[in-house]
Amino acid sequence: MSQVVSTSLMLTGYLSYLLVGAAVFQALEQNYEKELKTDTFRQKLMFLENYTCLTKEAVEKFVEVMTEAFKNGVNPIENKTSNYSNWDFSSSFFFVETVVTTIGYGYLAPRTAGGQIFCVFFAMFGIPLNLIVLNHVGKTLSSCTDRLGKRLYSRGMQKKTVKILTIIFFVVIGVVLFLALPPLMFCLMEDWSYREGVYYAFITLSTIGFGDYVVGVNHKPYYRALVAFWILFGMAWLALLFNLLTTFYEDTEKKISKVHQKRKAAKAKKNTANGSQLTTPVSEEEVAMETEGTAQQATVSFLELDNLRPNSQLA
């Protein structure tokens, strides 16, 4: 398969994936957005009807000021005497973690000229440093899984069985430690539902970071600093998982390309034989056999990783 054809097929599949995703989100979210808009406008009209001394322009200006304050990390519900600050040391530590990990929730950002300039240089040197740290943490997690595999192999298990068990162990333990248990803490500290906690955990560790959910709104001392360490180890685990999935996709592509080349070779051989000898084409069963071992090979590649590539796997 030529490079142009391979690239075209890959881009077509990628675009199709995005189009399907866009259609699903439109179907799930658009009606809810319309209902929310209708309810918001109705509440504003009811407010103006109940307080006739206020003009529409005055209410809209007030809402605009409150919205801008919320975007800047100021909670309009708090009173003036509140001692909480978004820039105390614990919150600042959490903020710099979101900078170097490129999560960037967007709910809080430096507003002063000095803060913005410092943020540029801090991120410029901090992001590569964070990738190095993720690399070492990922290697540590991978070596722990590798030691488990060697221990199982020393007890007489077959290599294939050991490889499958170790990858299952890696995925299950990671899911439990970084995606299943932390939402329980978020439910307690943030008053979120468990579903919202799981959603926040994955959106954060994958560095998508929408900013619709952010920890520390209730201002628990040093709570955000603790979450920052969870982010570090969780990102390293998820980067390894993404690397495993990437290896699986790449191996699948290679298998499909190999089958395509076999078919072309068989067809060319058949044409040159002038009909004197029939060449059996590659069947669908052979295609299945070629792709059957992809997951296993991806597992082997994962267990033999020398380097973690978070810069290519994390947004």
Which tens digit of pLDDT belongs to each residue from 297-310?
554 444 444 444 44
**pLDDT digits 0-9 by tens, 226-276:** 898 899 999 999 988 888 888 888 888 788 878 878 888 888 887 787 655
Residue 192 has pLDDT above 90, yes or no: yes
Share of the chain above pLDDT 90, in %: 30
Taking residues 61-75, what's their average pLDDT? 80
Range ranked top by mean pLDDT from 1-15, 26-40, 42-56: 26-40
Q: pLDDT digits over 90-106, tens only?
A: 888 889 999 999 999 88
Answer whether 145's CB lies under 8 Å from 254's CB. no
Q: Does residue 208 or residue 301 have the better pLDDT?
A: 208
pLDDT at 167 exceeding the cut of 90: no
What is the per-residue pLDDT for 220?
66
What is the reported pTM?
A: 0.73
Residue 61 reports pLDDT greater than 70: yes
In tens, the pLDDT along 101-147 reads 999 988 788 989 999 999 999 999 999 999 999 988 888 888 888 88
CA atoms within 13 A on the CB side of 48: 14
